[in-house]
């Protein structure tokens, strides 16, 4: 079973020159997810927000959090310009935030095979994955880490946990299971 946090961390970290897609249920949660990603990625990633594909491509050393104004047009442009991400080689991915069932996903399915392939396997819907069984997931989290998600996050926020890939993944996971 794929834990949502591991899937999200995997999507963002697995390909340093890649395109990761984070699917958001609505615009409010999109903003929340953007902030969560911002707070979790290492400062060395130099994450920045943009709505421009050109700006994302022009800064290959920074993690571009691509938040489209026009999802369909952004997907079309990524499709056309995918190979421009090859030279110079990117050292950080582009993270694209798309609405679930929105124009961006439809354009990926209908018009943009290159962008679809670029993101293939790295497109996650963290909330949907988390819908599976929260109680069981929380129990799994405790079994694996020895802490409840809230305890884990408190330690993370106090910088008591080393910033390792494993801890980032677990922190992503904890975020999706955290209770208000």
Q: Where along the sequence are the contacts to other proteins (CB under 8 A)?
A: 1-2, 6-7, 9-11, 13-18, 76-77, 79-84, 86-87, 105, 108-111, 113-114, 116-125, 165-166, 168-169
CB of 180 vs other proteins, minimal distance in Å: 27
Whole-angstrom Cα Rg for the chain: 16
CB of 114 to other proteins, least distance (A): 6
DSSP notation for 20-80 = EEEEESSHHHHHHHHHHHHHHS-GGG--EEES-HHHHHH-TTS-EEE--SSHHHHHHHHHH
Nearer to other proteins, 42 or 113 (CB): 113
To other proteins, the closest distance from the beta carbon of 45 in angstroms equals: 15
The DSSP letter of residue 90 is P
What's the first-to-final CA gap in the chain, in angstroms? 25
Q: How far is the CB of 86 from other proteins (least distance, A)?
A: 6
Closer of 170 and 179 to other proteins (Cβ): 170
* Alpha-carbon distances of 119 from 15, 35, 161, rounded to whole Å: 10, 21, 30
Q: Which is nearer to other proteins, 119 or 177 (CB)?
A: 119
Nearer to other proteins, 128 or 179 (CB): 128
HSE-CB of 67 using CA atoms within 13 angstroms: 18
Identity of the residue, 43 or 164, whose beta carbon is nearer to other proteins in the bound complex:
164
Three-state SS at 137? helix
SS (H, E, C) 55-66: HHHHCCCCCEEE
Shortest Å distance, C-beta 17 to other proteins: 7
């Amino acid at each position: 079973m794929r834990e949502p946090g591991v899937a999200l961390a995997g999507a963002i970290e697995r390909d340093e020159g890649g395109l990761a897609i984070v699917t958001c249920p609505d615009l409010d949660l999109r903003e929340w997810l953007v902030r969560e990603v911002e707070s979790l990625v290492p400062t060395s990633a130099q994450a920045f927000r943009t709505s421009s594909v050109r700006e994302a491509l022009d800064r290959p050393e920074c993690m571009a959090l691509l938040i489209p104004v026009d999802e369909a047009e952004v997907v079309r442009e990524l499709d056309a310009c995918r190979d421009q991400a090859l030279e110079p080689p990117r050292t950080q991915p582009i993270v694209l935030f798309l609405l679930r069932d929105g124009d961006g996903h439809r354009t990926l399915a209908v018009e943009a095979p290159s962008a679809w392939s670029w993101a293939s396997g790295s497109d996650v819907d963290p909330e949907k994955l988390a819908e599976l069984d929260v109680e069981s997931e929380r129990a799994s989290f405790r079994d694996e880490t020895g802490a409840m998600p809230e305890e884990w996050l408190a330690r993370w926020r106090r910088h008591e946990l080393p910033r390792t890939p494993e801890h980032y993944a677990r922190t992503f996971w904890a975020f999706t299971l955290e209770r208000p």
